[in-house]
Amino acid sequence: DSLLDHMEISIVEAEKRANGGLNLREFYTVYLVET
């Protein structure tokens, strides 16, 4: 169970990083368009 929990946490962290990068890219694109 602990191994499975660790894998799930790793996946969640990876998704957070991926989403964070995507949101940052979207924000940067919007910033360039608006200016």
DSSP per-residue codes, the chain: -HHHHHHHHHHHHHHHHHHHHHHHHHHHHHHHHH-
Compare 18 and 2 and report the one with higher pLDDT. 2
Percentage of the chain with pLDDT > 90? 0
Inter-CA distances, 4 with 10, 16, 26, Å: 10, 18, 33
pLDDT, residue 28, reads 84
Structural tokens at position 25: 């890219």
- Give pTM, 2 decimals: 0.45
